[in-house]
Amino acid sequence: MSGASEILTRKVSYSGAGISVRALEEDIQEERSVQNRHVRELQNLRGQNESLQTALTEEIAKLKTLADELHRERKGARFGLRRLLAKLPFAKDRILSHRSVENLLRQQYELSAQRLKEATEFADRLSVAKAELYDELERQGARIVESVQNSKLAATRVLELSSALDDARMELAGADHGTVRARELEVLVDKLERDLGEHSARLKLYETAEERIDRLRDNTRQLAKTISQLSTDMAFYITTASEKLDLIAGQIQAVGAAADASLVLLELQSSLDSLTDSINHTTRFVSETQAYFRENVDRMVENLQLYDKETEQVLAKNLAMNELDKELRMAEALTMAIATQEREGGTE
């Protein structure tokens, strides 16, 4: 008996905040909210990616129009007509020049620079999301470790209490009914049963918490990986596009002025091809990223919804427990405790 009393008076130092069904439910809800926020953010990033793609597609169309127009100029069709008209005495003073090539190129360059800036900022936002997801992973990992440690403590206590309870019951069975000793043993059995119930529930909750946070961590890991890959690809694209635009910037004014001045278009066409090619690469990249987003984000949203149902079932089951289920829970907990002990014994 003194052994049982000693067990009852010894406190278990569980780490972290206390756990209860309500506390676990609130924790899981909070974890889900954080994760939902990340998924929504990822969907938002996908939306922004779509606008970037649309804007870039429009730029391509403009660049192609400009290139086509310049190509026609080079062929001399319009210019030949203008030359002819310029010779007519009543018309020559009235012929005004066509649009400035330099002005068009610069406007297009400045617009491209703006798009590139938006893409660069987008990439930085991806980096922020990635950093926060990896912080989240660390935090979830720490919680899992805490849950496992607490499970171990709870399992040890459950085994101790179970053993003490068995001893107390056996002694009670052998004692004469109504004697002082029998009454003391009845009180002890009640206390042991109460403690066993409490620590069994804790063990179950810690095991559940570990399992559920582990699943959340899987989702978080997947999100982090998706964003990390996208961030890497974006950084590569931005570097390439920046180099292309830098190359063009150094020449675009002079090229445009030369075209205006002398209508020499061959090398200009090459410049535009170079710029157009880079934009083509960009659009292909963005299209591929869209597909990647669609596959991964939608699937992760579905997983979260499925996870919600499972959580609710487990927690509902715990909440619905009553006296008739108590023995069943304790038997389950005992099995779990033994398994935990064996597992820890194997790894230590």
Partner 1 sequence: MTSPGLSQEELLPGTKLPTKSIHGEQETSYVRRLERIFRAARLNNYFPDSRSLREHVRVLSPKMHQGLYSELEINTRSGLPSYKEWTRVQTDVRLAPQLLSQLEDPARLRAKATEGSIHEKQLKKHSYYTAIAKTRLAQLGGMQVTLRRVEPAQKTAYFCVVLDKLEASGLFVRYTIDLHQRASVWSKEVLTLDEAEAAQETESFKALIYKFASLDAELTFIKLGQLGGLGVERVVKGTVGPIYWGDLNVAPAPLASLMSAPEHVLAMFSYHLVSLDVAESKNNDPLAPGTSGARAGAAKLGYQVFKDRKFVIHPQQRAALTQWLGERGTKNLVYTVS
Cα 5 from Cα 125, distance rounded (Å): 59
- Beta strand segments in the chain, E: none
> What tokens appear for 219 in the block?
């989702």
> What tokens appear for 203 in the block?
């063990």
Four-CA torsion 48, 51, 52, 58, nearest 10 degrees: 180
The number of C-alpha atoms within 13 Å of 164 and in the hemisphere containing its C-beta is: 24
Q: How far is the CB of 39 from partner 1 (least distance, A)?
A: 18
Find, among 134, 135, 111, the residue nearest to 55 by Cα.
111
Q: How far is the CB of 48 from partner 1 (least distance, A)?
A: 9
Q: How far is the CB of 256 from partner 1 (least distance, A)?
A: 7
Q: How far is the CB of 24 from partner 1 (least distance, A)?
A: 28
Q: Which is nearer to partner 1, 125 or 343 (CB)?
A: 125
Cα 192 from Cα 197, distance rounded (Å): 8
First to last CA, the chain: 32
Burial readout 233-260 (b: 16 or more C-beta within 10 A, e: otherwise): bbeebbeebeebbeebeeebeebbebbb
Find, among 139, 148, 156, the residue nearest to 207 by Cα.
148
Q: How far is the CB of 50 from partner 1 (least distance, A)?
A: 16
Name the residues that contact partner 1, by CB under 8 A. Answer: 90, 93-94, 96-100, 102-103, 106, 109-110, 113-114, 117-118, 121, 124-125, 127-128, 131, 245-247, 249-258, 260-261, 264, 267-271, 273-274
Q: How far is the CB of 343 from partner 1 (least distance, A)?
A: 37
151 within 8 A of 14, measured Cβ to Cβ: no
Q: How far is the CB of 93 from partner 1 (least distance, A)?
A: 4
Burial readout 63-77 (b: 16 or more C-beta within 10 A, e: otherwise): beebbeebeebbeee
**Cα separations (Å) of 200 from 93, 151, 276, 330, 341?**
100, 10, 68, 6, 14
Q: How far is the CB of 32 from partner 1 (least distance, A)?
A: 21
Q: How far is the CB of 103 from partner 1 (least distance, A)?
A: 5
Which residues, other chains included, contact 158 with Cβ-Cβ below 8 Å and sequence gap of 6+?
196, 199, 200, 203, 330, 333, 334, 337
Cα 246 from Cα 233, distance rounded (Å): 20
